Chains A and B, each alone.
Chain A
Amino acid sequence: MSRPGGPGWQVKLVEQLLRGDKRAAAKLISMIEDDDAGASEALAAIYPKTGKCHVVGFTGPPGVGKSSLINRLVREFRERGKTVGVVAVDPSSPFTGGAVLGDRIRMADTGVDPGVFIRSMATRGHAGGLALATFDAVKVLDALGMDLVFVETVGAGQSEVEIASRAHTTVVVQMPESGDAVQALKAGILEIGDVYVVNKTDLGGADVMASNLKFMIEEKAGWRAPVVRTSALEGRGVQELADAIAKHFVHLKSGALWEQREMHRARKELLESMRRLLSETYTGASAGKEFEREVRRIVARKRDPRTAARKLLVKLDVT
Protein backbone atom coordinates (compact mmCIF):
# COMPACT_ATOMS: atom_id res chain seq x y z
CA MET A 1 0.00 0.00 0.00
CA SER A 2 1.21 3.45 -0.78
CA ARG A 3 2.39 5.57 2.08
CA PRO A 4 1.51 9.23 2.01
CA GLY A 5 4.06 11.24 0.08
CA GLY A 6 5.01 14.78 -0.87
CA PRO A 7 6.69 17.45 1.20
CA GLY A 8 5.49 17.94 4.74
CA TRP A 9 3.29 14.85 4.68
CA GLN A 10 4.24 13.82 8.21
CA VAL A 11 3.15 17.25 9.38
CA LYS A 12 -0.17 16.77 7.61
CA LEU A 13 -0.65 13.34 9.19
CA VAL A 14 0.13 14.74 12.64
CA GLU A 15 -2.35 17.59 12.08
CA GLN A 16 -5.02 15.05 11.13
CA LEU A 17 -4.14 13.00 14.20
CA LEU A 18 -4.56 15.99 16.49
CA ARG A 19 -8.00 16.57 14.96
CA GLY A 20 -8.94 13.04 16.02
CA ASP A 21 -8.55 11.25 12.67
CA LYS A 22 -8.24 7.52 13.35
CA ARG A 23 -6.82 6.67 9.95
CA ALA A 24 -3.98 9.14 10.50
CA ALA A 25 -3.34 7.55 13.91
CA ALA A 26 -3.23 4.09 12.32
CA LYS A 27 -0.83 5.24 9.57
CA LEU A 28 1.48 6.93 12.05
CA ILE A 29 1.64 3.78 14.18
CA SER A 30 2.60 1.73 11.10
CA MET A 31 5.29 4.24 10.18
CA ILE A 32 6.74 3.97 13.66
CA GLU A 33 6.56 0.17 13.60
CA ASP A 34 8.30 -0.01 10.22
CA ASP A 35 10.77 2.67 11.34
CA ASP A 36 10.00 4.61 8.16
CA ALA A 37 11.90 7.69 7.19
CA GLY A 38 9.99 10.51 8.82
CA ALA A 39 8.81 8.51 11.83
CA SER A 40 11.21 10.35 14.14
CA GLU A 41 10.04 13.75 12.89
CA ALA A 42 6.41 12.75 13.31
CA LEU A 43 7.11 11.57 16.87
CA ALA A 44 8.92 14.81 17.62
CA ALA A 45 5.85 16.75 16.49
CA ILE A 46 3.51 14.55 18.53
CA TYR A 47 5.49 14.53 21.76
CA PRO A 48 4.49 17.98 23.10
CA LYS A 49 0.83 16.95 22.78
CA THR A 50 1.25 13.86 24.95
CA GLY A 51 1.32 13.21 28.68
CA LYS A 52 -2.38 13.52 29.29
CA CYS A 53 -3.57 9.92 29.28
CA HIS A 54 -3.50 7.24 31.94
CA VAL A 55 -1.45 4.30 30.66
CA VAL A 56 -2.49 0.96 32.13
CA GLY A 57 -0.45 -2.18 31.45
CA PHE A 58 -1.93 -5.68 31.64
CA THR A 59 0.26 -8.71 32.08
CA GLY A 60 -0.20 -12.33 33.10
CA PRO A 61 0.10 -15.77 31.53
CA PRO A 62 -1.46 -16.57 28.12
CA GLY A 63 -5.09 -17.58 28.30
CA VAL A 64 -5.69 -15.96 31.68
CA GLY A 65 -8.26 -13.62 30.13
CA LYS A 66 -6.40 -10.35 29.60
CA SER A 67 -8.13 -9.52 26.31
CA SER A 68 -11.60 -10.41 27.61
CA LEU A 69 -11.01 -8.37 30.75
CA ILE A 70 -9.77 -5.40 28.72
CA ASN A 71 -12.88 -5.63 26.56
CA ARG A 72 -15.08 -5.45 29.68
CA LEU A 73 -13.04 -2.56 31.09
CA VAL A 74 -13.20 -0.59 27.85
CA ARG A 75 -16.98 -0.75 28.03
CA GLU A 76 -16.98 0.15 31.72
CA PHE A 77 -14.80 3.23 31.18
CA ARG A 78 -16.83 4.23 28.12
CA GLU A 79 -19.91 4.23 30.35
CA ARG A 80 -18.00 6.52 32.68
CA GLY A 81 -17.51 8.90 29.76
CA LYS A 82 -13.84 8.13 29.07
CA THR A 83 -12.26 7.44 25.68
CA VAL A 84 -10.03 4.37 25.56
CA GLY A 85 -7.18 3.21 23.35
CA VAL A 86 -5.78 -0.33 23.37
CA VAL A 87 -2.43 -1.61 22.14
CA ALA A 88 -2.46 -5.42 22.23
CA VAL A 89 0.84 -7.19 21.67
CA ASP A 90 1.19 -10.75 20.35
CA PRO A 91 4.38 -12.64 19.45
CA SER A 92 6.08 -12.64 16.04
CA SER A 93 7.49 -15.93 14.77
CA PRO A 94 11.25 -16.03 15.33
CA PHE A 95 11.48 -18.18 12.17
CA THR A 96 9.40 -16.36 9.57
CA GLY A 97 8.74 -12.97 11.18
CA GLY A 98 5.03 -13.56 10.63
CA ALA A 99 2.37 -13.31 13.31
CA VAL A 100 -1.26 -14.04 13.96
CA LEU A 101 -2.70 -11.22 16.03
CA GLY A 102 -5.81 -12.54 17.75
CA ASP A 103 -6.47 -10.23 20.69
CA ARG A 104 -9.08 -8.33 18.72
CA ILE A 105 -11.37 -11.37 18.66
CA ARG A 106 -12.32 -10.70 22.28
CA MET A 107 -12.79 -6.99 21.61
CA ALA A 108 -14.81 -7.20 18.39
CA ASP A 109 -17.92 -5.57 19.81
CA THR A 110 -16.16 -2.48 21.11
CA GLY A 111 -14.05 -1.73 18.03
CA VAL A 112 -16.67 0.36 16.22
CA ASP A 113 -17.31 2.73 19.13
CA PRO A 114 -16.01 6.17 18.04
CA GLY A 115 -14.40 6.65 21.47
CA VAL A 116 -12.32 3.49 21.17
CA PHE A 117 -9.19 2.70 19.17
CA ILE A 118 -7.70 -0.79 19.19
CA ARG A 119 -4.39 -1.69 17.60
CA SER A 120 -2.81 -5.15 17.44
CA MET A 121 0.96 -5.25 17.37
CA ALA A 122 3.52 -8.01 16.79
CA THR A 123 6.70 -8.12 18.90
CA ARG A 124 8.98 -8.20 15.81
CA GLY A 125 11.82 -9.79 17.73
CA HIS A 126 11.65 -7.56 20.79
CA ALA A 127 11.81 -9.42 24.12
CA GLY A 128 9.96 -8.68 27.35
CA GLY A 129 6.44 -9.13 26.05
CA LEU A 130 6.27 -5.82 24.21
CA ALA A 131 7.23 -4.49 20.78
CA LEU A 132 9.84 -1.76 20.32
CA ALA A 133 7.11 0.52 18.96
CA THR A 134 4.56 -0.16 21.72
CA PHE A 135 5.05 2.99 23.76
CA ASP A 136 5.46 5.22 20.73
CA ALA A 137 2.07 3.89 19.62
CA VAL A 138 0.77 4.82 23.08
CA LYS A 139 1.97 8.37 22.42
CA VAL A 140 0.02 8.45 19.16
CA LEU A 141 -3.15 7.36 20.98
CA ASP A 142 -2.45 9.88 23.73
CA ALA A 143 -2.23 12.64 21.11
CA LEU A 144 -5.40 11.28 19.46
CA GLY A 145 -7.11 12.29 22.69
CA MET A 146 -7.65 8.99 24.47
CA ASP A 147 -8.21 9.38 28.23
CA LEU A 148 -6.89 5.91 28.96
CA VAL A 149 -4.58 3.65 26.97
CA PHE A 150 -4.46 -0.05 27.84
CA VAL A 151 -1.36 -2.01 26.88
CA GLU A 152 -1.73 -5.78 26.75
CA THR A 153 1.56 -7.67 26.87
CA VAL A 154 2.22 -10.99 25.15
CA GLY A 155 1.83 -12.85 28.41
CA ALA A 156 4.93 -14.95 27.99
CA GLY A 157 5.62 -15.56 31.64
CA GLN A 158 7.33 -14.68 34.84
CA SER A 159 9.91 -12.18 33.67
CA GLU A 160 7.66 -9.82 31.77
CA VAL A 161 8.45 -6.78 33.87
CA GLU A 162 9.30 -4.06 31.31
CA ILE A 163 5.68 -2.96 31.29
CA ALA A 164 5.91 -1.81 34.93
CA SER A 165 8.49 0.85 34.20
CA ARG A 166 6.46 2.32 31.34
CA ALA A 167 2.83 2.08 32.40
CA HIS A 168 1.40 4.29 35.13
CA THR A 169 -0.62 1.42 36.51
CA THR A 170 0.33 -2.22 36.10
CA VAL A 171 -2.41 -4.82 36.39
CA VAL A 172 -1.21 -8.38 36.95
CA VAL A 173 -3.83 -10.95 35.98
CA GLN A 174 -3.84 -14.44 37.45
CA MET A 175 -6.38 -17.24 37.57
CA PRO A 176 -7.37 -19.95 40.04
CA GLU A 177 -5.46 -23.23 40.19
CA SER A 178 -2.40 -21.71 38.54
CA GLY A 179 0.08 -22.46 41.29
CA ASP A 180 0.37 -22.59 45.06
CA ALA A 181 1.59 -20.12 47.64
CA VAL A 182 5.22 -20.69 46.63
CA GLN A 183 4.49 -19.64 43.03
CA ALA A 184 3.10 -16.44 44.49
CA LEU A 185 6.34 -15.91 46.41
CA LYS A 186 8.56 -16.02 43.34
CA ALA A 187 10.28 -12.90 42.08
CA GLY A 188 9.36 -11.13 38.88
CA ILE A 189 5.89 -10.62 37.57
CA LEU A 190 4.28 -10.88 41.00
CA GLU A 191 6.33 -7.97 42.32
CA ILE A 192 5.27 -5.43 39.74
CA GLY A 193 1.52 -5.15 40.20
CA ASP A 194 -0.26 -2.00 41.32
CA VAL A 195 -3.48 -3.97 41.05
CA TYR A 196 -3.80 -7.77 41.11
CA VAL A 197 -6.65 -9.63 39.51
CA VAL A 198 -7.82 -13.18 40.01
CA ASN A 199 -9.88 -13.71 36.88
CA LYS A 200 -12.11 -16.69 36.04
CA THR A 201 -13.77 -16.76 39.46
CA ASP A 202 -16.47 -18.76 37.66
CA LEU A 203 -14.06 -21.72 37.75
CA GLY A 204 -13.97 -21.79 41.57
CA GLY A 205 -10.88 -21.73 43.77
CA ALA A 206 -10.43 -17.98 43.39
CA ASP A 207 -10.40 -17.35 47.12
CA VAL A 208 -7.32 -19.50 47.67
CA MET A 209 -5.48 -17.73 44.86
CA ALA A 210 -6.54 -14.31 46.16
CA SER A 211 -5.36 -15.04 49.71
CA ASN A 212 -2.04 -16.42 48.39
CA LEU A 213 -1.56 -13.15 46.54
CA LYS A 214 -2.59 -10.99 49.48
CA PHE A 215 -0.07 -12.80 51.66
CA MET A 216 2.74 -11.68 49.38
CA ILE A 217 1.74 -8.06 48.75
CA GLU A 218 3.46 -5.32 50.71
CA GLU A 219 2.71 -1.65 50.90
CA LYS A 220 4.90 0.37 48.53
CA ALA A 221 5.09 4.18 48.59
CA GLY A 222 1.80 4.50 50.40
CA TRP A 223 -0.08 2.09 48.15
CA ARG A 224 -1.17 -1.41 49.04
CA ALA A 225 -2.04 -3.20 45.82
CA PRO A 226 -5.59 -4.52 46.00
CA VAL A 227 -6.55 -8.01 44.84
CA VAL A 228 -9.71 -7.91 42.76
CA ARG A 229 -11.71 -11.01 41.86
CA THR A 230 -13.28 -10.92 38.41
CA SER A 231 -15.06 -13.06 35.89
CA ALA A 232 -14.60 -11.51 32.47
CA LEU A 233 -16.93 -14.22 31.13
CA GLU A 234 -19.81 -13.16 33.37
CA GLY A 235 -18.81 -9.52 33.71
CA ARG A 236 -18.38 -9.76 37.48
CA GLY A 237 -15.90 -7.63 39.42
CA VAL A 238 -15.31 -5.33 36.45
CA GLN A 239 -16.58 -2.21 38.22
CA GLU A 240 -14.37 -2.89 41.23
CA LEU A 241 -11.39 -3.36 38.92
CA ALA A 242 -12.14 -0.11 37.10
CA ASP A 243 -12.43 1.63 40.49
CA ALA A 244 -9.06 0.21 41.61
CA ILE A 245 -7.37 1.39 38.40
CA ALA A 246 -8.87 4.88 38.68
CA LYS A 247 -7.95 5.06 42.37
CA HIS A 248 -4.33 4.18 41.66
CA PHE A 249 -4.11 7.04 39.17
CA VAL A 250 -5.45 9.47 41.77
CA HIS A 251 -2.87 8.12 44.22
CA LEU A 252 -0.04 8.66 41.72
CA LYS A 253 -1.17 12.19 40.96
CA SER A 254 -1.68 13.19 44.58
CA GLY A 255 1.89 13.33 45.88
CA ALA A 256 5.44 13.75 44.69
CA LEU A 257 5.13 10.28 43.18
CA TRP A 258 4.04 11.51 39.79
CA GLU A 259 7.10 13.66 39.23
CA GLN A 260 9.43 10.89 40.43
CA ARG A 261 7.84 8.46 38.03
CA GLU A 262 7.99 10.88 35.13
CA MET A 263 11.68 11.55 35.81
CA HIS A 264 12.33 7.81 35.94
CA ARG A 265 10.42 7.28 32.70
CA ALA A 266 12.20 10.13 30.90
CA ARG A 267 15.60 8.84 32.04
CA LYS A 268 14.76 5.35 30.79
CA GLU A 269 13.46 6.59 27.45
CA LEU A 270 16.48 8.80 26.90
CA LEU A 271 18.84 5.91 27.59
CA GLU A 272 16.85 3.61 25.34
CA SER A 273 16.91 6.14 22.52
CA MET A 274 20.67 6.58 22.90
CA ARG A 275 21.18 2.83 22.87
CA ARG A 276 19.04 2.53 19.77
CA LEU A 277 20.82 5.31 17.92
CA LEU A 278 24.14 3.70 18.79
CA SER A 279 23.24 0.27 17.54
CA GLU A 280 21.70 1.74 14.38
CA THR A 281 24.91 3.66 13.73
CA TYR A 282 27.02 0.56 14.10
CA THR A 283 24.94 -2.13 12.45
CA GLY A 284 26.02 -4.23 9.49
CA ALA A 285 27.59 -2.67 6.44
CA SER A 286 27.15 0.87 7.70
CA ALA A 287 29.34 0.29 10.75
CA GLY A 288 32.25 2.12 9.15
CA LYS A 289 36.00 1.69 8.87
CA GLU A 290 36.75 2.92 12.36
CA PHE A 291 34.49 0.27 13.85
CA GLU A 292 35.99 -2.53 11.73
CA ARG A 293 39.48 -1.42 12.68
CA GLU A 294 38.58 -1.77 16.35
CA VAL A 295 37.01 -5.19 15.65
CA ARG A 296 40.29 -6.42 14.19
CA ARG A 297 42.25 -5.02 17.14
CA ILE A 298 39.96 -6.88 19.53
CA VAL A 299 40.40 -10.15 17.57
CA ALA A 300 44.17 -9.70 17.61
CA ARG A 301 44.04 -9.12 21.40
CA LYS A 302 45.63 -5.71 20.86
CA ARG A 303 42.74 -3.90 22.49
CA ASP A 304 40.03 -4.99 24.89
CA PRO A 305 36.37 -4.42 23.90
CA ARG A 306 35.68 -1.84 26.63
CA THR A 307 38.59 0.38 25.74
CA ALA A 308 37.71 0.09 22.05
CA ALA A 309 34.13 1.09 22.82
CA ARG A 310 35.33 4.13 24.73
CA LYS A 311 37.58 5.16 21.82
CA LEU A 312 34.66 4.91 19.38
CA LEU A 313 32.27 6.78 21.63
CA VAL A 314 34.62 9.73 21.99
CA LYS A 315 34.67 10.17 18.22
CA LEU A 316 31.01 9.43 17.77
CA ASP A 317 28.75 11.40 15.49
CA VAL A 318 25.26 9.91 15.21
CA THR A 319 23.57 12.83 13.54
Chain B
Amino acid sequence: MAKKIRVLIAKPGLDGHDRGAKIVARALRDAGMEVVYTGLRQSPEDIVEAAIQEDVDAIGLSCLSGAHMTLFPAVVRLLRRRRASDIVVAGGGIIPDEDVPRLKKAGIKAVFGPGTPLSEIVAFFRDAAK
Protein backbone atom coordinates (compact mmCIF):
# COMPACT_ATOMS: atom_id res chain seq x y z
CA MET B 1 0.00 0.00 0.00
CA ALA B 2 1.30 3.44 -0.89
CA LYS B 3 1.92 6.07 1.74
CA LYS B 4 -1.19 8.18 2.31
CA ILE B 5 -0.94 11.92 2.72
CA ARG B 6 -2.43 12.95 6.05
CA VAL B 7 -3.30 16.57 6.82
CA LEU B 8 -4.70 18.19 9.95
CA ILE B 9 -7.08 21.09 9.34
CA ALA B 10 -7.45 23.12 12.48
CA LYS B 11 -9.11 26.31 13.66
CA PRO B 12 -7.07 28.08 16.31
CA GLY B 13 -8.63 31.00 18.15
CA LEU B 14 -12.11 32.07 18.96
CA ASP B 15 -13.92 32.80 15.70
CA GLY B 16 -16.72 30.45 14.78
CA HIS B 17 -16.40 30.50 11.01
CA ASP B 18 -15.29 27.20 9.53
CA ARG B 19 -16.82 27.26 6.05
CA GLY B 20 -13.36 27.87 4.58
CA ALA B 21 -11.73 25.12 6.64
CA LYS B 22 -14.45 22.66 5.58
CA ILE B 23 -14.10 23.55 1.90
CA VAL B 24 -10.36 23.00 2.08
CA ALA B 25 -10.88 19.71 3.96
CA ARG B 26 -13.22 18.54 1.25
CA ALA B 27 -10.87 19.54 -1.57
CA LEU B 28 -8.01 17.61 0.06
CA ARG B 29 -10.30 14.61 0.57
CA ASP B 30 -11.27 14.72 -3.11
CA ALA B 31 -7.56 14.77 -3.95
CA GLY B 32 -7.24 11.43 -2.12
CA MET B 33 -5.79 12.69 1.15
CA GLU B 34 -6.84 11.77 4.68
CA VAL B 35 -7.94 14.91 6.45
CA VAL B 36 -8.31 15.10 10.20
CA TYR B 37 -10.60 17.97 11.13
CA THR B 38 -10.63 18.94 14.79
CA GLY B 39 -13.32 21.62 14.87
CA LEU B 40 -13.54 25.09 16.31
CA ARG B 41 -11.69 26.92 19.06
CA GLN B 42 -8.52 24.90 19.37
CA SER B 43 -5.49 26.05 21.32
CA PRO B 44 -2.03 25.70 19.72
CA GLU B 45 -1.37 22.95 22.31
CA ASP B 46 -4.49 21.02 21.21
CA ILE B 47 -3.44 21.35 17.57
CA VAL B 48 0.15 20.21 18.05
CA GLU B 49 -0.85 17.26 20.24
CA ALA B 50 -3.42 16.17 17.63
CA ALA B 51 -0.87 16.54 14.82
CA ILE B 52 1.58 14.29 16.67
CA GLN B 53 -0.93 11.59 17.60
CA GLU B 54 -2.37 11.59 14.09
CA ASP B 55 1.13 11.58 12.53
CA VAL B 56 0.16 14.11 9.87
CA ASP B 57 2.47 15.40 7.16
CA ALA B 58 1.13 18.92 7.37
CA ILE B 59 -1.18 21.26 9.28
CA GLY B 60 -3.52 23.78 7.67
CA LEU B 61 -4.55 26.54 10.09
CA SER B 62 -7.59 28.70 9.44
CA CYS B 63 -8.15 31.88 11.40
CA LEU B 64 -10.59 34.69 10.74
CA SER B 65 -10.42 36.50 14.04
CA GLY B 66 -7.23 38.50 13.46
CA ALA B 67 -5.22 36.56 16.03
CA HIS B 68 -3.10 34.78 13.40
CA MET B 69 0.10 36.67 14.29
CA THR B 70 0.00 35.13 17.76
CA LEU B 71 -1.54 31.73 17.08
CA PHE B 72 0.18 30.59 13.86
CA PRO B 73 3.76 31.12 15.12
CA ALA B 74 2.78 29.51 18.45
CA VAL B 75 1.95 26.29 16.60
CA VAL B 76 5.33 26.32 14.83
CA ARG B 77 7.15 26.95 18.12
CA LEU B 78 5.36 24.11 19.91
CA LEU B 79 6.11 21.72 17.05
CA ARG B 80 9.77 22.63 17.35
CA ARG B 81 9.66 22.03 21.09
CA ARG B 82 8.17 18.57 20.51
CA ARG B 83 10.88 17.87 17.92
CA ALA B 84 8.21 17.62 15.23
CA SER B 85 9.23 20.51 13.00
CA ASP B 86 9.20 18.18 10.01
CA ILE B 87 5.42 18.75 10.05
CA VAL B 88 4.75 21.54 7.53
CA VAL B 89 2.47 24.39 8.63
CA ALA B 90 0.36 26.55 6.29
CA GLY B 91 -2.27 29.13 7.13
CA GLY B 92 -5.34 30.74 5.66
CA GLY B 93 -8.15 33.12 6.43
CA ILE B 94 -8.44 36.88 6.61
CA ILE B 95 -4.77 37.77 6.70
CA PRO B 96 -3.54 41.24 5.63
CA ASP B 97 -0.82 41.21 2.96
CA GLU B 98 1.64 43.04 5.20
CA ASP B 99 1.48 40.17 7.75
CA VAL B 100 2.48 37.49 5.24
CA PRO B 101 6.28 38.09 5.24
CA ARG B 102 6.38 37.99 9.04
CA LEU B 103 4.36 34.81 9.16
CA LYS B 104 6.69 33.19 6.64
CA LYS B 105 9.66 34.28 8.69
CA ALA B 106 8.03 32.64 11.70
CA GLY B 107 7.97 29.32 9.83
CA ILE B 108 4.54 29.33 8.17
CA LYS B 109 5.36 27.83 4.78
CA ALA B 110 2.42 29.30 2.86
CA VAL B 111 -0.47 31.69 3.43
CA PHE B 112 -3.67 31.30 1.43
CA GLY B 113 -6.03 34.28 1.42
CA PRO B 114 -9.63 34.48 0.17
CA GLY B 115 -9.98 33.59 -3.51
CA THR B 116 -7.03 31.19 -3.62
CA PRO B 117 -7.86 28.43 -6.14
CA LEU B 118 -8.34 25.11 -4.35
CA SER B 119 -5.99 23.45 -6.83
CA GLU B 120 -3.17 25.64 -5.51
CA ILE B 121 -3.84 24.52 -1.92
CA VAL B 122 -4.04 20.85 -2.97
CA ALA B 123 -0.73 21.17 -4.85
CA PHE B 124 0.90 22.75 -1.82
CA PHE B 125 -0.07 19.91 0.53
CA ARG B 126 0.91 17.30 -2.03
CA ASP B 127 4.40 18.84 -2.21
CA ALA B 128 4.58 19.23 1.56
CA ALA B 129 4.18 15.49 2.01
CA LYS B 130 7.15 14.67 -0.23
Chain A residues in contact with chain B, CB under 8 A? 1-2, 22-23, 25-27, 29-30, 33-36, 92-93, 96-102, 104-105, 108-109, 111-112, 117-120, 122, 124
Q: Are A33 and B46 in contact (CB under 8 A)?
A: no
Q: Is the interface of A mostly helix, strand, loop or mixed?
A: mixed
Instruction: Tell whether A119 pairs with B37 under 8 Å between CB atoms, given A1-B86, A96-B32.
Output: no
Q: Which of B4, B30, B57, B87 contacts A33 (CB 8 A)?
A: B4
Q: Are A120 and B129 in contact (CB under 8 A)?
A: no
Q: At the interface, yes or no: B94 with Cβ under 8 Å from chain A?
A: no
Q: Are B36 and A120 in contact (CB under 8 A)?
A: yes
Taking the nearest CB of chain A, how far is it from the CB of B44, in angstroms? 11
Q: Are B29 and A29 in contact (CB under 8 A)?
A: no
Q: Are A124 and B1 in contact (CB under 8 A)?
A: yes
Q: Are B30 and A96 in contact (CB under 8 A)?
A: yes
Measured between beta carbons, the chain B residues less than 8 angstroms from A124 are: 1, 4
Q: Are B1 and A26 in contact (CB under 8 A)?
A: no
Chain B residues in contact with chain A, CB under 8 A? 1-4, 6, 25-26, 28-39, 42, 45-46, 49-50, 52-55, 57, 82-84, 86-87, 129
Interface centre among B31, B54, B84 (most CB of A within 10 A): B54
Q: Are A120 and B54 in contact (CB under 8 A)?
A: yes
* A100 to B36 Cα, complex, angstroms: 6
In the complex, besides A97-B4, A98-B34, A111-B46, 6 extra interface pairs with C-beta distance below 8 angstroms are A22-B52, A26-B53, A93-B30, A97-B32, A98-B28, A104-B37
Instruction: Tell whether A34 pairs with B3 under 8 Å between CB atoms, given A105-B39, A108-B46.
Output: yes
Nearest-CB residue, chain A, relative to B28:
A98
Taking the nearest CB of chain A, how far is it from the CB of B8, in angstroms? 9
Q: Are A98 and B53 in contact (CB under 8 A)?
A: no
Q: Are A111 and B32 in contact (CB under 8 A)?
A: no
Nearest-CB residue, chain B, relative to A103:
B36
Nearest-CB residue, chain B, relative to A120:
B36
Q: Which of A23, A35, A92 contacts B52 (CB 8 A)?
A: A23
Measured between beta carbons, the chain A residues less than 8 angstroms from B4 are: 33-34, 97, 122, 124
Taking the nearest CB of chain A, how far is it from the CB of B119, in angstroms? 15
Measured between beta carbons, the chain A residues less than 8 angstroms from B83 are: 23
Q: Are B86 and A2 in contact (CB under 8 A)?
A: yes
Taking the nearest CB of chain A, how far is it from the CB of B84, in angstroms? 7
* A2 to B34 Cα, complex, angstroms: 17
